[in-house]
Amino acid sequence: MIKNVAYSFVIVLLLWACNESHIEPSPVVYNSAYFPLDSSAWRTYQATYIVIDKASEVYDTVNYFVKEVCAGWTLDATHDSMMRLERYVKSEIDQSWDINQVWQAGIVNHEAIQVEENIRYIKLKFPAELGKTWNGNAYNRLDTLEQYSFIVSDLDEPYLLNDLSFDSVLTVTQKDKESLIDKVLFTEKYAKGIGLIEKIQIDIRGDEDIDPLVNVEDRITKGTIYRQTLIDYGKE
């Protein structure tokens, strides 16, 4: 009788351990505080998206707010532990939030992985070191020619963003190309213990009648500019 009870107890424990609702995060790796995964954390951003097409007389600017909530651990298709990122949007600060997308983030094999709209990126590689490079699109087909390498261009630097001050910030430059007629610059900044604080994506083209004394930004004919900056953060 006692043996049967003990055996049944062991079976229950094994079944509980295999339940996907009880998911443990991946082990912590060196300086992963730049990519924290805390199921009680949230971050709010102000975002601006600009589209320019001079030939079609398109000059559109959209301003909105984004809230990203770490909503608990789950398993992805490869059975890796990933944080569920619920993303909410609103156009005015006094409006209520509407859920817009669900992303995933996790640290797998010393890589900070983020899945955005079903596209898998390697945001960081640990340990993060100044000048370190990697293929951030190794798990997708966005850069099949491998024109760009992600690089840690700043590390452990203080940074002032609007009214927020950060002691240690890491900058990843994802794309950086500039000529007299075009400019492509994608960067992301991460603060220790907080995560992403700023995202900038510039992809613009200027007049072909080149004036080397005028910056491309001041003679844009076509392109997009996106900026997302942290305005608040906390834990529930």
Q: What are the residues facing 188 on neighbouring strands?
A: 172, 199
User: What's the pLDDT score for residue 210?
Assistant: 75
Nearest alpha carbon to residue 36 among 44, 26, 47, 46:
26
Confidence at residue 191, expressed as pLDDT on a 0 to 100 scale: 98
How confident is the model over 22-69, as pLDDT tens digits? 555 555 567 799 999 998 899 999 999 999 998 899 999 999 999 999
**What is the arithmetic mean of pLDDT over 225-233?**
97
Beta strands in the chain (DSSP E): 41-53, 58-75, 81-90, 98-108, 111-116, 119-125, 133-134, 150-161, 164-178, 182-191, 195-206, 220-235
Name every residue whose Cβ is closer than 8 Å to that of residue 204 and which is 6 or more positions away in sequence.
52, 182, 183, 184, 216, 217, 220, 222, 223, 224, 225
Which candidate, 184, 179, 181, places its Cα nearest to that of 201? Answer: 184
Rounded Cα distance, 35 and 103, in Å = 15
Average pLDDT over residues 170-185: 94
20, pLDDT greater than 70: no
Place of tokens 């492509």: 184
For residue 2, the model assigns a pLDDT of: 44
Please name the fold of domain 2-235: YmcC-like fold (2.40.360)
Per residue in 109-155, pLDDT (tens digit) is 999 999 999 999 999 999 999 999 999 999 999 988 878 999 999 99
How confident is the model over 81-99, as pLDDT tens digits? 999 999 999 999 999 999 9
- As a whole number, the mean pLDDT across the chain is 88
Q: Give the domain ranges of the chain.
A: 2-235
Q: How is residue 3 annotated by DSSP?
A: H
